């Protein structure tokens, strides 16, 4: 078959191209790519090791010439093994001209000398705004004492290095005329810098603090401390009618004991009382209901508004509540745990109303759970108001639980009186205006010592139209200043009163009974910490004259 002409041309071109490339590769393999002469290694490139070492010795230990004259060369030493190895490898990489120079000539390193330049006065180059009035003249530098000499009394002067012989600095005019300086001269103390004006402290108005002292009247009573030293006193702050403070939002939790110890008629009276109390709530208040024995059941998983629909829902829930079985008993700790919120807003308070007979508190473990475990878990977030009957047992334990959680015990004489007592309680706590109350007594003399109760973490809230009472002890009848502070809606309030016993009335048995209860309360706290029964014996002795029960039986 005959091959077309264009294929023969293509094949020929490929053969010719391959030949040309092959010839170019052979040419480049045998010739240098540089256009100059090819590199030729001289026979002298392989110098003897001993000869080259001798050249290095003569080059680097040659005598040096200084301004004073020639110096003797340092004695030659044998090269170290590392240097011998380096000098053995050096000729292999050195170019030919340098090798011929080393082989035929002795290498002498030139001695470099710096040109003489006049010394510069550094003071002359300082900016004008940095010139110091007490700057020294340059020619007197060498007259200064050394920093270690006792005459050196100027801490602000920089240390000067004294050289021998001293440097002769040429006279150079400075920018500032400076008086002569001697060793005994003293520098003029610079004027004290002017401090920036301090920022003004914020006023009470800037801190959103309201002074409500004029809106409260104080009543003071005192009595000698029988069986002890000093005096007992009570201070009652009575709000005036023109006091106006914003009300804090309030969340109510009603806890109803339905255990078998609660009789059917009493359970019905408690349910009726709660429905009547819900009518006292404001529109911004919220509530919830709990019924419990050994188990707890609640009306809603969330807080309900005080609306007619929510009250109707609560009524239907209470209609289904029945008395527990014969063997059922109440557990106060668990339902109270459910009342404690994770966080309490600054403009709200939480109130728990516990309706029980306290029969479960006959067990020492239940007492500890209520007075220690739940109180520690609560940390004052929920105010506790137990509602019981005066015929119930363990009222002292319920009262201690209430005082430890900013509340108080409410007792009804009969079952029918439960509704009346609950409604009275609802009206007294209807308008909380300040919480986180803190009280402090400041005496003008250090000799006087004043104790105030309740303590800050136990102090109840301040309610509108309700008196606020403090009790205390002082070692002498001297005037002192009382400060009361609390958080209100959007800020703080302050009450400042001067407590004077000059016009105070004499307290009676009720004041002594209140102090006995407070002293017993302090002993109870010590007992919960160390479980020492001696504290209970002391509390029993304090309460015996007033026929009060002890909280721990």
Mean pLDDT value across the chain: 78
Question: Does pLDDT of 124 surpass 90?
Answer: no
Question: Does pLDDT of 530 surpass 50?
Answer: yes
List all residues 6 or more positions away from 122 whose beta carbon is below 8 Å from its beta carbon: none
Q: Cα–Cα distance between 39 and 34 in angstroms, integer? A: 10
pLDDT in tens, 302-349: 999 999 999 999 999 999 999 888 777 888 888 999 999 999 999 999
3-state SS, 87-156, equals: HHHHHHHCCHHHHHHHHHCCCCCCCCCCCCCCCCCHHHHCCHHHCCCCCCCHHHHHHCCCCCCCCCCCCC
Is the distance from CB of 504 to CB of 220 less than 8 angstroms?
yes
Residue 85: predicted pLDDT? 47
Domains plus CATH for the chain? 216-243+434-543 (2.60.40.1230), 249-430 (3.40.50.410)
Higher-confidence residue of 170 and 404: namely: 404
Residue 419: predicted pLDDT? 96
Question: Does pLDDT of 495 surpass 60?
Answer: yes
Is the distance from CB of 187 to CB of 134 less than 8 angstroms?
yes
Residue 75: predicted pLDDT? 46
Helix, strand, coil percentages in the chain from 3-state DSSP, rounded to 5:
35, 20, 45
Question: Does pLDDT of 424 surpass 60?
Answer: yes
Least confident among 2-6, 17-21, 272-276, 366-370: 2-6
pLDDT in tens, 438-482: 999 999 888 899 999 999 889 999 999 999 999 999 999 999 999
Residue 418: predicted pLDDT? 96
Transcribe 318-352 into DSSP letters: HHT--PPPTT----SHHHHHHH--S---TTEEEEE
Among candidates 285, 421, 280, which has minimal Cα distance to 348?
Answer: 285
294: confidence class by pLDDT, cuts 50, 70, 90:
confident
List all residues 6 or more positions away from 51 whose beta carbon is below 8 Å from its beta carbon: 103
Percent of the chain with pLDDT over 90: 52
Among candidates 421, 455, 462, which has minimal Cα distance to 440?
Answer: 455
Q: What is the DSSP letter of 371?
A: I
Q: Cα–Cα distance between 436 and 451 in angstroms, integer? A: 19
Is the distance from CB of 229 to CB of 475 less than 8 angstroms?
yes
pLDDT in tens, 193-238: 444 454 454 455 555 789 999 999 999 999 999 878 899 999 999 9
Backbone φ/ψ region at 45: left (φ over 0), alpha (ψ -120 to 50), beta? alpha
| pTM, entire model | 0.64
- B/e letters for 184-223, b = 16+ CB within 10 Å, e = fewer, are eeeeeeeeeeeeeeeeeeeeeeeeebbebbebbebebbbb
Query: CA-based Rg of the chain, rounded to a whole angstrom?
Result: 51
Task: Write down the number of H helices and E strands in the chain.
Answer: 13, 19
Residue 211: predicted pLDDT? 94
Mean pLDDT computed over 42-66: 50
| Residue 256, number of CB atoms within 10 A of its CB | 23
Residue 55: predicted pLDDT? 55
Higher-confidence residue of 443 and 41: namely: 443
Is the distance from CB of 486 to CB of 456 less than 8 angstroms?
no
Structure tokens at 16: 């010719």
Is the distance from CB of 466 to CB of 437 less than 8 angstroms?
no
Residue 95: predicted pLDDT? 46
Cα-Cα-Cα-Cα dihedral of 440, 445, 446, 449, to 10°?
-50
Q: Is 64 exposed, middle or buried (0-12, 13-18, 19+ CB in 10 A)?
A: middle
Q: Cα–Cα distance between 360 and 257 in angstroms, integer? A: 10
Least confident among 9-18, 24-33, 334-343, 511-520: 24-33
Instruction: Spell out the alpha helix ranges (H) of 379-508.
Output: 395-403, 417-428
Mean pLDDT computed over 237-245: 93
Mean pLDDT computed over 132-160: 44
Residue 113: predicted pLDDT? 55
Residue 51: predicted pLDDT? 56
Residue 114: predicted pLDDT? 54
Residue 126: predicted pLDDT? 55
What is the β-pairing status of strands 468-474 and 231-239?
Answer: antiparallel
Structure tokens at 343: 């966080």
Residue 24: predicted pLDDT? 78
Q: Cα–Cα distance between 129 and 483 in angstroms, integer? A: 56
Higher-confidence residue of 362 and 46: namely: 362
Mean pLDDT computed over 152-174: 45
Mean pLDDT computed over 158-185: 45
Mean pLDDT computed over 529-543: 93
């Amino acid at each position: 078959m005959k091959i077309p002409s264009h294929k023969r041309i293509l094949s020929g071109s490929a053969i010719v191209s391959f030949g040309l490339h092959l010839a170019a590769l052979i040419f480049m393999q045998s010739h240098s790519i540089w256009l100059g002469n090819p590199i030729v290694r001289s026979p002298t490139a392989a110098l003897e090791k001993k000869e080259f070492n001798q050249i290095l010795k003569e080059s680097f230990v040659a005598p040096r010439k200084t301004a004073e004259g020639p110096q003797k060369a340092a004695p030659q030493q044998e090269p170290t093994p590392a240097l011998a190895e380096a000098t053995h490898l050096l000729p292999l990489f050195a170019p030919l001209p340098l090798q011929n120079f080393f082989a035929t000539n002795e290498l002498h390193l030139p001695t470099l000398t710096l040109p003489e330049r006049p010394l510069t006065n550094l003071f002359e180059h300082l900016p004008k705004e940095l010139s110091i009035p007490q700057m020294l003249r340059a020619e007197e530098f060498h007259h200064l004492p050394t920093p270690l000499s006792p005459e050196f009394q100027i801490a602000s002067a920089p240390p000067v290095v004294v050289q021998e012989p001293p440097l002769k600095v040429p006279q150079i005019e400075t920018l500032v005329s400076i008086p002569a300086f001697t060793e005994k001269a003293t520098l003029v103390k610079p004027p004290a810098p002017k401090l920036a004006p301090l920022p003004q402290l914020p006023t009470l108005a800037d801190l959103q603090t309201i002074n409500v002292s004029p809106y409260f009247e104080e009543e003071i009573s005192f009595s000698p401390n029988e069986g002890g030293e000093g005096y007992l006193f009570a201070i009652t702050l009575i709000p005036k009618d023109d006091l106006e403070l914003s009300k804090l939002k309030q969340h109510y939790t009603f806890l109803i004991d339905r255990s078998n110890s609660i009789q059917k008629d009493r359970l019905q009276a408690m349910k009726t009382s709660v429905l009547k109390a819900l009518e006292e709530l404001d529109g911004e208040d919220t509530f919830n209901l709990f019924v419990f024995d050994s188990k707890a059941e609640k009306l809603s998983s969330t807080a309900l508004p005080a609306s007619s629909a929510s009250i109707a829902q609560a009524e239907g829930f209470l209609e289904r509540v029945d008395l527990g079985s014969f063997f059922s008993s109440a557990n106060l700790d668990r339902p109270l745990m459910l009342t404690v919120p994770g966080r309490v807003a600054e403009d709200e308070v939480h109130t728990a109303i516990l309706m029980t007979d306290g029969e479960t508190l006959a067990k020492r473990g239940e007492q500890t759970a209520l007075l220690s475990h739940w109180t520690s878990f609560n940390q004052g977030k929920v105010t506790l108001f137990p509602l019981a009957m005066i015929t119930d047992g363990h009222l002292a334990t319920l009262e201690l639980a209430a005082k430890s959680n900013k509340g108080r015990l409410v007792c009804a004489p009969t079952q029918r009186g439960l509704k009346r007592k609950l409604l009275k309680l609802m009206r007294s706590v209807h308008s909380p205006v300040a919480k986180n109350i803190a009280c402090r007594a400041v005496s003008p003399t250090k000799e006087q010592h004043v104790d105030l109760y309740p303590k800050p973490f136990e102090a109840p809230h301040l309610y509108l139209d309700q008196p606020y009472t403090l009790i205390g002890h002082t070692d002498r009848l001297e005037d002192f200043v009382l400060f009361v502070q609390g958080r209100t809606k959007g800020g703080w309030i302050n009450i400042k009163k001067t407590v004077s016993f000059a016009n105070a009335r004499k307290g009676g048995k009720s004041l002594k009974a209140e102090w006995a209860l407070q002293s017993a309360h302090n002993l109870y706290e010590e007992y919960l910490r160390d479980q020492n029964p001696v504290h209970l014996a002391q509390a029993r002795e304090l309460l015996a004259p007033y026929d009060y029960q002890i909280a721990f039986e």
